[in-house]
């Protein structure tokens, strides 16, 4: 569900490292936004896209 439709970016996992070097689990989620694009038939379709892909789409437009 939390995956970019354009680039496939999805959540990644790692650790928070405190000052005392204790490690706790942590998750980075992509910044997904719903946007409307035209599909191959020219019909509008709502997709979830990360903000980096959205920036690229607007630049190409």
Tens digit of each residue's pLDDT (9 = 90 or more) over 2-30: 999 999 999 999 999 999 999 999 999 99
In the prediction, which pLDDT does 57 show?
A: 85
Q: Does residue 60 have a pLDDT over 80?
A: no
pTM: 0.74
Contacts of 25 (CB under 8 A, 6+ apart): 13, 15, 16
Query: Coil, helix or strand for 11?
Result: coil
Q: Residue 33: is its pLDDT beyond 90?
A: yes
The total number of residues written for the chain in this structure: 61
Token code pair at residue 52: 């980096």
Task: Determine the topology of domain 12-60 in CATH.
Answer: Ribosomal Protein L24e; Chain: T; (2.30.170)
**Any residues with CB less than 8 A from the CB of 55 and at least 6 apart, and which?**
none
């Amino acid at each position: 569900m939390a995956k970019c439709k354009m680039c496939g970016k999805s959540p990644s996992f790692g650790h928070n490292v405190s000052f005392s070097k204790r490690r706790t689990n942590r998750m980075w989620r992509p910044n997904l936004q719903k946007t409307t694009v035209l599909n191959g038939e020219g019909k509008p379709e709502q997709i979830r896209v990360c903000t980096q892909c959205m920036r690229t789409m607007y630049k190409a437009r």
